[in-house]
Copies of this chain bind each other. A is one copy, B any other.
Amino acid sequence: MHSNAIPPEISGPSGGIPEATVARLPVYLRALYGLAERGISTVASEELAAAAGVNSAKLRKDLSHLGSYGIRGVGYDVDYLVYQVSRTLGLTQDWPVVIVGAGNLGRALANYGGFVSRGFTISAMLDSDPAIVGSRIARLTVRHVDELEAVVARHKVAIGVIAAPASSAQAVCDRLVAAGVTSILNFAPVVLNVPEGVDVRKVDLSIELQILAFHAQRRSAARPEADPAHGHHRGAVNGTPSRPPVTSEFAAQA
């Protein structure tokens, strides 16, 4: 069939879906919910693609990896596709999630009630600050981070969200992994070290802003008043670069 079959993967039934496709399925799912709400029961790839912000060929190829769920000459049945995409993503079961860090960010995440939505339940919020432990956030009482192992075991938590300061993120990560959590969503601005088999995704404001800055700079460089310094190989640069005071920074305290 498609691509090769040798990767760690067992090119199983619904197996072997390309990463890029997996990353877009949630977007399609959201678009489908939007259509369903508006009472639309059938949709062509062109429209769905527009709603999801991709081109239609890509959408069709993506969906083809899940199976042949469209109707030629017609389009896709919205409810049915919602179901198939949900099932593929593993959203037909509930995933207990633990959030570590109940600072500003942790609170924001917990309050995303409708956001985390279908498929995910916050089992507990944990923090190490005694001033925060015991407070209530989004129907939950914040518990001490020492209860992490107990919470994970009790609720069979498979997904951990790290909303802790950069300085403790790795330690939190280690505890989550040791407790058996194999999926981690990291909001702290650090590269986490994890053993094989643990899946880490990161969300990083600072990186996103820097990428935007790059493109913004690029755009404004269209103007001919270009940058003055442009020495290429070393030494050519006027004196020492000496740009960065190189202080700490890049250390968040959520």
Residues of A whose CB lies within 8 Å of any CB of B are: 3, 6-7, 12-13, 15, 17, 22-23, 25-27, 29-31, 33-34, 36-37, 51-54, 67-69, 71, 77, 79-80, 82-84, 86-93, 95, 97, 103-105, 107-109, 111-120, 158-159, 182-185, 189-191, 193, 197, 199, 201, 203-221, 227, 229-230, 232-234, 237, 241-244, 246-254
Q: Which of B26, B53, B253 is close to A210, meaning CB atoms less than 8 Å apart?
A: B26
- Say how far A7's CB is from chain B's closest CB, in angstroms: 6
Q: How far is the CA of A252 from the CA of B113 in the complex (A)?
A: 7
Bound together, the chains give a CA A201 to CA B71 distance in angstroms of: 33
A77 contact set on B, CB distance < 8 A: 234
Instruction: Report B-chain residues with C-beta under 8 Å of the C-beta of A15.
Output: 218
**Shortest CB distance A247–B (Å):** 8
A181 to chain B, nearest CB (A): 10
Contact B201 A203 (CB under 8 A): no
Q: Which residue of B lies closest to A212 (CB)?
A: B183
Nearest CB in chain B: distance from A126 CB, A: 17
Are the CB atoms of B7 and A210 closer together than 8 Å? no
Closest to A112 in B: B252
A209, B67: Cβ atoms under 8 Å? Answer: no
Q: Which 8 A-B pairs have the closest CB atoms?
A: A90-B217, A104-B108, A83-B241, A115-B252, A26-B210, A83-B243, A183-B212, A53-B191
Pick from B112, B206, B213: contact of A254, CB below 8 A.
B112
